[in-house]
Amino acid sequence: MRTRVAVIGGGQSCEHDVSLASAAAVAAALDPTTYEVVPLTIGRDGTWRDRSLRPIGLAGAAQVLRSCDVVFPVVHGPRGEDGALAALCELAGLPYVGSGIGPGALAMDKWATKLVAGAVGIATAPGHLVTAATAARERWTHPVVVKPVAAGSSHGVALVTAPDGLLPALEVALALDSRALVEDVVAGREIDVAVLRRADGTVVASPALEIVVDGLFDFDAKYGGHADLRVPARLDEADARALEQAALTAYDALGCAGVARIDFFLTDAGPVLNEVNTIPGMTEHSQVPRMFTAAGLSYPDLLDELVRGARHRAPATPVWFPSLDTPAPTWQEDRPSPLSPVC
């Protein structure tokens, strides 16, 4: 009998379209002789939809989920990657791919990630936290990078090289999140390492990938085909070992599961952590699948490892789950979520 896998894409963040692409790629690549894919989509307004894109509400989605063996969330950004969908699966007692509630929330929060990294000896860019209440007091003294604390796909990230660019950059970042980071510019090569907990419980790091781009690796560079992704990156033995160790340490310190992408700047003094992605881009051409393909693990085999790993983890005891004959409340079926879109 085939394993039923609910693949969830979309979401209410500014990464909605990226998530749809990842979810579609995952659904298409799961081996049909082993897996029966059950697609679910979360609209920008929070409405859950079935494989035919018919609105079914959260209660309807719960009925679909309870018929599946494992959940594969591919919702990037807030209300997905930040532990929200992991929480739903935990409450329902459903095995799911990826990190749990705490690790998802920690890694999504770039400020919290910096604090965890510092506690285990991993360098991060010097920086500080800014809110709407403190933004007007910011003064430019040197080039900085401004970014939202909890947004992905490089949305709202700006390189500020002149005084008159600081407040506009903060306004953009704070329009996407209630907090922003102002960090020193780090001079170094942009290097990613993926870490995977395999189905047998072992943890492995991928070959490193280098991002070569003219300027900032922003949204346009990331998705417009303007970046040169080189895997495996050309590294000497010492740098390769330092990056791998830092990636494994960050993965372990945050408590990650499944696969995570750990992004670094490689400087003359060693690796400097940039961020951690617990639900990274998952099309066949995204960084993580490319890195593992370079190690001899194909894209379908990577997905198979993730699903089997999720099934091997003991699920939580269900706390709540509507039965098949429970009528859905009207607002869930006929109206979008009362929560506003987020980034």
The enclosing domain of 240 has a CATH number of 3.30.470.20
Residue 342 lies in a domain: no
Residue 299 φ/ψ, nearest 5 degrees: -60, -50
H helix or E strand, kind and range, residue 34? none
Percent of the chain with pLDDT over 90: 82
Q: Are 64 and 117 found together in one domain?
A: no
Task: Provide Rg for the chain, Cα atoms.
Answer: 20
Q: Are 252 and 109 found together in one domain?
A: yes
Q: Are 111 and 242 found together in one domain?
A: yes
Q: What is the pTM of this model?
A: 0.88
Closest CA to 315 of 5, 88, 90: 90
Please, are residues 208 and 295 in contact by the beta-carbon 8 Å criterion? no
Q: Are 212 and 240 found together in one domain?
A: yes
Residue 30 lies in a domain: yes
Closest CA to 270 of 287, 252, 249: 249
Q: Are 252 and 119 found together in one domain?
A: yes
Q: Is the pLDDT of residue 215 over 60?
A: no
Report the alpha-carbon distance of residue 150 to residue 343 in Å, rounded.
Answer: 7
- The domain of 162 spans 127-184
Report the alpha-carbon distance of residue 226 to residue 60 in Å, rounded.
Answer: 41
Q: Are 180 and 195 found together in one domain?
A: no
Q: Are 301 and 205 found together in one domain?
A: yes
pLDDT tens figures, 155-192: 889 999 999 999 999 999 999 999 999 999 999 999 99
Closest CA to 251 of 98, 64, 39: 98
Q: Are 41 and 177 found together in one domain?
A: no
Residue 71 lies in a domain: yes
State which of 167, 184, 201 marks the end of a domain.
184
> Which residues are marked as active site?
15, 153, 223, 261, 263, 275, 277, 281
Please, are residues 242 and 193 in contact by the beta-carbon 8 Å criterion? no
Q: Are 219 and 115 found together in one domain?
A: yes
Token representation of residue 204: 């492995």
Instruction: State the pLDDT at residue 315.
Output: 54
Q: Are 211 and 117 found together in one domain?
A: yes
